[in-house]
Amino acid sequence: MYKNMLVPLDGSELSETSLNHVISITECSNPPAVVLLRAREPLDSGVRQRLSNDLARQLDEAYQEEMQQYLEKVAGFLAEKGITATTVAATGSPAEAILDYARDNDIDIIVMSSHGRTGIARWAFGSVTEKVLKESAVPVLVIPHKIR
């Protein structure tokens, strides 16, 4: 049923709870193409202005390398379960990166976890999951923060 699955991760154990569901989905049907995506906000422009161009570039490269290493570790975990996953490390608004990737790459389903923030925390941090749910043109399977 699903040919292309997008799995956004933020590096937290909570976001990785979606992986059990990815494994279940792939066991129940023809294995879809699985894409692991991690996005981060770009370095704040005020911070960037205070740094030398060289230092800002080094920070960007270090962040990119850390994201890629993390994604490769998760892809290795899935490979142990017989699931081949590709990885994408993106810079930009996480919600926008997820939505753009899904739209531009023929994604059939997005599988992601919710942090379950409420009140001021939700207002202060925003909700990536909520924005993806509202704006996605494809089904979104949300794993609630209480399921482990």
Q: Tens digits of per-residue pLDDT, 18-46?
A: 999 999 988 877 767 999 999 988 777 77
> Which residues of the chain fall short of a pLDDT of 50?
118-125, 148
Residue 121's pLDDT is what? Answer: 42
| CATH 2.60.120.1440 matches 4-143 | no
- Spatial CB neighbours of 13, under 8 Å, sequence gap ≥ 6: none
From residue 32, alpha-carbon distances to 8, 16, 36, 140 in Å are 15, 18, 12, 15
Q: What is the pLDDT of residue 116?
A: 53
CB 68 within 8 A of CB 87: yes
Question: What pLDDT is recorded for position 69?
Answer: 97
Per-residue pLDDT, 122: 43
The reported pLDDT for the residue numbered 148 is 47
